[in-house]
Amino acid sequence: MPPRDLLIEHLHNLQDRHGGLYPAHLSALAAEFRLSLSEVMETASFYAHFRLLKDGEAAPSAVVRVCGSPSCVLRGAEQLKATIPGAVDAPCLGLCDHAPAALVSRVPVREATVESVMAALMVTPPPPRSSQSPSPLWGGVGVGDRPRDAILAELEASGLRGMGGAGFPVARKWRTVAAQPGPRLVVVNADEGEPGTFKDRHFLDTAMDRVLDGALAAAWAIEAEAIYIYLRDEYPDLHDTLDAAIAALPPGTVPVHLRRGAGAYVCGEESALIESLEGKRGLPRQRPPYVAEVGLFGRPTLVNNVETLYWVSRILEDGAESFAKHGRNGQKGLRSYSVSGRVKIPGVKIAPNGVTITELIEEFCGGMEDGHHLAAYLPGGASGGFLPAHLQPPLAFGCIEEHGGFIGSAAVIVLSQADDLRAVALNLARFFAHESCGQCTPCRVGTARAAEILEQPHWDKPLLDDLSHVMRQASICGLGQAAPNVWQSLLRHFPEVTA
């Protein structure tokens, strides 16, 4: 009997082979895993990427997903989707710097047009690329030649904070998990789904060896017995490369398991991600206990984002000072900013932590697109709220909250005078309503109700205030707590467009 945590992998394998999941597949899995059919069904039906088919129903030969995030909509994604028969809307595909983006079965299409999507439908997905060489720092030994305390001290001196969105100090998190009784586990969160975020893709594409090094260093430092990497299903090209890179790790390395997500934004939240890794629906857990104490398979678990582990590797090689000496406007360190929207050169920008929006646009993005001037921006994707151009706080943890937003994973979407802020807000409100796991009423009902209100010509401000208050106070996880930033920030900073 295979372990329950492999259920989602088995669902993927069947769907990859048959184009969807038929009742016989689900029954067979139930028998194989010794689960009830309803347990298999509830997992399969939770995830957007699983297609449940009826007996006799033809499986599609290919699926075209067109990204519906704001950066792609600004570049014509809706018109593109309307002209491709059978195309479905997808939450952010993590290609915001190549908008509009599409995913044709397993083939990402950048700067998508009808012609390029049709061409992708004709090709067989490329074979896995050859793996990159594991870095000499940690790969191949599974143990370091540096004392664990020295590693933790180096990270502490660097001031590195988690780059997944919450910004928790990395060394403190590692110490907390290391202090729990073993066995312990490391989880790599490669499930970025925040509209506007594409840095995990960038780091895995350009520095996979660094990310693996960071994960192996974490496993060494907290004496973990295995590493689980949870990669979003929207990155099939990276899955192949990562699979090959893991296979190339030398014997004796701590076991590294690669798992696919299945199209659920909420699984970027660490406790939902852990539920998903266990082969279940991605429902965020009530806390306490925290995953550092009771995480994957009930074990103390260190969850770190891809970018965080990249910086861990850099800091352990170059020293804390090489990282901490950077920074601007009172902030320390380096970080990535995923910049998309109305700039000349969108992309992942490695910049001093704490740059302002104007510094970021002018120094790192070649300025605004011709004919556009900065009108507003989202500093932290869908969750981080809107800011007007004249507000220029450092783009760093703790610096945006006073304006009603936050930096999160630094998904910076730049908007100009040509953009309809209400339409962007409605897009994001619908996104949250779609992605709410439905587990708690304030979020399930609040996100849906807010989207309905935002569709109206006149927004009911008292009702939105009321909804926002309840959602922030009573939602279990960050999705429901942060969703109101979308409309509340617009009401606060752009009263003229919300009147």
- Which CB sits closer to ligand SF4, 154 or 269? 269
Least spacing, CB of residue 484 vs ligand SF4, in Å = 11
Burial class of 124 by CB neighbour count within 10 A (0 to 12, 13 to 18, 19+): exposed
Contact partners, residue 47, CB within 8 Å, separation at least 6: 8, 261, 262, 263, 264, 282
Task: Please report the beta strands in 389-446, taking only residues with DSSP state E, as ranges in sequence order.
Answer: 411-416
The rounded distance, in Å, linking the Cα atoms of 157 and 168 is 15
Q: Is 472 in the site for ligand SF4 (CB under 6 A)?
A: no
Q: Is 440 in the site for ligand SF4 (CB under 6 A)?
A: yes
**From 107, 375, 477, 491, residue interacting with ligand SF4 (rule: CB under 6 A):** 477
* Amino acid at residue number 258: L
Strand order through the sheet with 387-388: 347-352, 334-341, 411-416, 374-378, 387-388
DSSP per-residue string spanning 63-80 = -EEEE-SHHHHHTTHHHH
The window from 154-162, 297-305, 327-335, 430-438 that contacts ligand SF4 (CB under 6 A) reads: 430-438
- Which CB sits closer to ligand SF4, 264 or 361? 264
Q: Is 475 in the site for ligand SF4 (CB under 6 A)?
A: yes
- Which CB sits closer to ligand SF4, 117 or 266? 266
**From 480, 487, 491, 493, residue interacting with ligand SF4 (rule: CB under 6 A):** 480
DSSP character at residue 161: B
Q: Is 439 in the site for ligand SF4 (CB under 6 A)?
A: yes
Least spacing, CB of residue 468 vs ligand SF4, in Å = 13
Contacts with ligand SF4 by CB under 6 A: the residue count is: 14
Least spacing, CB of residue 474 vs ligand SF4, in Å = 9
DSSP character at residue 372: -
Least spacing, CB of residue 436 vs ligand SF4, in Å = 4
The rounded distance, in Å, linking the Cα atoms of 392 and 377 is 10
Three-class SS string for 191-228?
CCCCCCCCHHHHHHHHHHHHHHHHHHHHHHHCCEEEEE
Q: Is 336 in the site for ligand SF4 (CB under 6 A)?
A: no
User: Residue 336 pairs with which residues in a beta bridge?
Assistant: 350
- Which CB sits closer to ligand SF4, 188 or 264? 264
Q: Is 429 in the site for ligand SF4 (CB under 6 A)?
A: no
Q: Is 71 in the site for ligand SF4 (CB under 6 A)?
A: no
- Which CB sits closer to ligand SF4, 340 or 409? 409
CA distances for 391 relative to 179, 204, 357, 402, angstroms? 42, 33, 9, 11
SS3 of 262, please? Answer: coil
**From 267, 343, 348, 443, residue interacting with ligand SF4 (rule: CB under 6 A):** 443
**From 424, 437, 486, 491, residue interacting with ligand SF4 (rule: CB under 6 A):** 437
> Which long-range CB contacts under 8 A does 56-62 form with residues at least 24 apart?
57/20, 57/22, 59/18, 59/19, 59/20, 60/19, 60/20, 60/86, 61/19, 62/104, 62/105, 62/121
Q: Is 451 in the site for ligand SF4 (CB under 6 A)?
A: no
SS3 of 46, please? Answer: helix
255-274 residues in contact with ligand SF4 (CB under 6 A) are: 266
The rounded distance, in Å, linking the Cα atoms of 274 and 73 is 32
The window from 198-206, 302-310, 407-415, 473-481 that contacts ligand SF4 (CB under 6 A) reads: 473-481
Least spacing, CB of residue 446 vs ligand SF4, in Å = 9
DSSP character at residue 477: S
271-300 residues in contact with ligand SF4 (CB under 6 A) are: 284
The window from 10-18, 72-80, 184-192, 477-485 that contacts ligand SF4 (CB under 6 A) reads: 477-485
Q: Is 482 in the site for ligand SF4 (CB under 6 A)?
A: no
Least spacing, CB of residue 273 vs ligand SF4, in Å = 13
The window from 19-27, 158-166, 247-255, 469-477 that contacts ligand SF4 (CB under 6 A) reads: 469-477
- Which CB sits closer to ligand SF4, 233 or 269? 269
SS3 content of the chain, % helix, strand, coil (to 5): 45, 15, 40
SS3 of 86, please? Answer: coil
The window from 75-83, 146-154, 323-331, 439-447 that contacts ligand SF4 (CB under 6 A) reads: 439-447
**From 60, 128, 319, 438, residue interacting with ligand SF4 (rule: CB under 6 A):** 438
Cβ atoms < 10 Å from Cβ of 281:
21
Q: Is 444 in the site for ligand SF4 (CB under 6 A)?
A: yes
Q: Is 142 in the site for ligand SF4 (CB under 6 A)?
A: no
Least spacing, CB of residue 488 vs ligand SF4, in Å = 16
Q: Is 44 in the site for ligand SF4 (CB under 6 A)?
A: no
Q: Is 492 in the site for ligand SF4 (CB under 6 A)?
A: no
Least spacing, CB of residue 303 vs ligand SF4, in Å = 16
Contact partners, residue 114, CB within 8 Å, separation at least 6: 80, 83, 84
The rounded distance, in Å, linking the Cα atoms of 444 and 446 is 6
**From 207, 428, 476, 490, residue interacting with ligand SF4 (rule: CB under 6 A):** 476
- Which CB sits closer to ligand SF4, 433 or 491? 433
25's tokens: 């597949």
Place of tokens 């106070």: 473
The rounded distance, in Å, linking the Cα atoms of 230 and 445 is 29
Judged by the rule CB under 6 A, the positions of this chain that interact with ligand SF4 are 266, 284, 436-440, 443-444, 475-477, 479-480
